[in-house]
Chain A
Amino acid sequence: MIIAISTDKEDNWDQPVSENFGRSQWFCLYNTDTKIVRFIENIAGSTKQNAGIKTINFLLELNVDTVLSGRFGSITTVLLREKNIQIIIPQRTKILSEIINQLKNQKL
């Protein structure tokens, strides 16, 4: 299972989760099976319109199962539900390393 976490910067573990889903600059991808973490630039983030939909298509190509971000738009939320992708909205105070650690420590 691959989890995509929206972030504003690359390779920074102390940053908070980005407040935007479609317009976030980077995604931190965590694979729960291999436990590999990598950052990937959101190529759909700078488009003028429908950034949310384009970002979903971009993430679907990467086989993402779960997305985690501060806020999702309405169209994005509906589309994610249709595509059966799990949406997670964390508390504002949570930083990236906390979430990754929580995912790493969970017992499957």
Chain B
Amino acid sequence: MARIKKKRLVQMAPCFGGFKPFGVLNEKQGRVMINIEEYEALKLCDYEHLTQSEAAELMNISRPTFTRIYESVRSKIARAFIEGLPIIYEGGDSLIAEWYTCNKCEIIFTLKNIGGKSCPLCKSKEITLN
């Protein structure tokens, strides 16, 4: 039996669906799919300027695995840029950290270990996970 893949920990999923090239006359077939853990790898390395080992630790995976994910996202982005393909964030084998959204004031927040499940600003109980 194949070994079960370890879930990659992602702090926060992207808040939009992807990118589209402009100035493309005949929309080409095909698109580039970037999964959530690849997005996180790129964010940690190139946006937050962490080292690969720091980033791997945050994602709860080994450094070689991190490097593989990172190289994959780099080549996917390059392909989308050169070939003018849209990028879509989708799928992946990841575990997204717990975040709650208040349905009334639309803020994003975490909950403390102790205490009730309510919005910290308006105290509304109508909150949704992730």
Bits for B95-126, please: 1 = Cβ < 8 Å to A, else 0: 00100000001111111110000001111000
> Which residues of A come within 8 Å of B, CB atoms?
65-66, 73-75, 77-78, 80-81, 84-91, 99, 102-103, 106-108
User: Would B107 and A89 count as touching, CB distance under 8 A?
Assistant: yes
B11 within 8 A of A: yes
Contacts A/B (CB < 8 Å), 14 sampled: A66-B120, A74-B11, A74-B44, A74-B50, A75-B48, A75-B58, A78-B11, A84-B112, A86-B111, A87-B110, A88-B120, A91-B107, A102-B122, A106-B121
Main secondary structure of the interface of B (DSSP, over half): loop
Q: Across the interface, which residues of A come within 8 angstroms of B122, CB to CB?
A: 102, 106
Q: How far apart sit A103 and B121, CA to CA, in the bound complex (Å)?
A: 6
Do the beta carbons of B121 and A89 come within 8 Å of each other? no
Within the assembled complex, what's the spacing in Å between the Cα atoms of A103 and B48? Answer: 32
Inter-chain contact A88/B109, CB cutoff 8 Å: yes
Given contacts A74-B11, A75-B58, A86-B111, contact A102 B97 (CB under 8 A): no
Q: Which of chain B's residues have a CB closer than 8 A to the CB of A108? A: 123
B48 touches A102 (CB 8 A): no
A77 neighbours in B (Cβ, 8 Å): 11-12, 97
Bound-state CA distance A78–B44 (Å) is 13
